[in-house]
Amino acid sequence: MAESLSQDEVLEAVARHIGRPGQGPRLRRTGADITRLPMLDLRVVRSVETRTTRAETRPGRYDISGLPTFEGKLRDHPVEPPRNPARSGRLELVLSGSARTVDCGCDEGRQPCARCRARGTLDCDIGPSCPVCKGVEPCTWCDGTGERRKDRATSGPAGEKGPSGRTTCLKCRRARTACPQCRGRGTEQCRRCEDTGFRVCPVCAGERSTKHAPCDGTGLITRWTAGSVGHAPERSTTRLPDPAPPLRVRQQAGRTGAWQRATLTRAGEPLPDALDPAHVKAVASALESRPGEVARQVDIGWLPLVSVAMTDDPDHVFYVFPGSGGLEVLPVWSRRRSLRAAAVVAAVVVLLLLVAALV
Ligand SMILES: [Zn+2]
Ligand SMILES: [Zn+2]
Ligand SMILES: [Zn+2]
Ligand SMILES: [Zn+2]
Ligand SMILES: [Zn+2]
């Protein structure tokens, strides 16, 4: 396909398209304005590398013998860039000789229990009020204290007939004085501590200490200097001309245009000779090397495209580009025609509104 389209070729293609084959030269005489709008579709994927070192620790004796190592400065360590720059990847390394397993500094893998402050037990409440006596008058003689209440107004219960169903008090041991449910305690027995007031710590199960998490209970820690080399794809796209031709033209040219293509894989690689001179500057600037770039894949596509405006036919602009079977011509409404169509639509809307108002 022709590198760039000659005026005669273009005008003859337009003449054929409007049913006047052979009249290309005549179109030129009556006035045809040809604008070159060469198209460019440039896609770049760069693999950008980052290198970081950090201190690493693992509990216990941690085996890192399987990891690759680097010597000295990580930035001097050779790492193969990814074959496919679109792929992300990460390589984990160990600074040679940096790994050592050391004492954790805890008490042989244990640490004092934080929940119970190493006591093994937690304080516990006694049970809730007795549902029968509500804690009021659990025992008519001692009131749950085990001793005779001084402010008691009633006379001694021994001779008196106590409330029905009273039983022997656990506190004062008198018969028929206590609430049958709580037997003088005034409360239900606490299910968690059986009213002892303390219970076994649920965290350490009474052991007073727990496993030290940083060393996983081993009392040992493995430390080393880790190096990490990451590769991440960075994409960019450049499309010309700018402003872009109408959508219909771009779609048609994308489908049937005879695009020329080239692929570059190295920074500084010479641009293809056949590239349209109008694209060289944009391509060169898009392909400049970026910091951290270690690999690239560049796909360049370009297609000659011209627009033809004719004094004979002010309603159309003809777009011409090479297709698989010769030059393709795609007529598109000119700006003038589009504005007129919009004005017609607006007028119709106004008319409809008027009609609607009258009805
Ligand atoms: Zn009592
Ligand atoms: Zn009771
Ligand atoms: Zn309790
Ligand atoms: Zn505990
Ligand atoms: Zn530890």
Residues with Cβ–ion distance below 5 A, ligand 3: 124, 190, 192-193
Q: Is the pTM of this model over 0.75?
A: no
Instruction: Give the tokens for residue 299.
Output: 């796909």
CB-facing half-sphere around the CA of 133: CA atoms within 13 A: 25
Is the Cα torsion angle 189, 190, 193, 196 positive or negative in sign? negative
Centre of ligand 2 from the C-alpha of residue 142, in Å:
13
Neighbours of 231 (CB within 10 A): 22
Centre of ligand 3 from the C-alpha of residue 152, in Å:
30
One pLDDT digit (tens) per residue for the chain, 359 residues: 445 789 999 999 999 999 999 888 888 888 889 999 999 999 999 999 999 999 999 999 999 999 999 999 999 999 999 999 999 999 999 999 999 999 999 999 999 999 999 999 999 887 788 988 888 889 989 888 888 876 655 544 444 444 568 999 998 999 999 999 989 988 888 888 877 888 999 999 999 999 999 999 999 999 999 999 999 999 999 999 999 999 999 999 999 999 999 999 998 999 999 999 999 999 999 999 999 999 999 999 999 999 999 888 889 999 999 998 899 999 999 887 778 888 888 888 888 888 888 87
Is there a contact between 162 and 140 (Cβ–Cβ < 8 Å)? yes
Query: Which ligand gives the minimal distance to the CA of 199?
Result: 3
Residues with Cβ–ion distance below 5 A, ligand 5: 104, 106, 212, 215
Residues with Cβ–ion distance below 5 A, ligand 4: 113, 115-116, 201, 203-204
Q: Which of 224, 265, 232 is nearest to 91 (CA)?
A: 232
Centre of ligand 4 from the C-alpha of residue 200, in Å:
8
Is there a contact between 22 and 319 (Cβ–Cβ < 8 Å)? no
Cα 145 to Cα 68: distance, rounded to the nearest angstrom: 75
Domain residue limits, the chain: 1-34+307-359
Is there a contact between 260 and 212 (Cβ–Cβ < 8 Å)? no
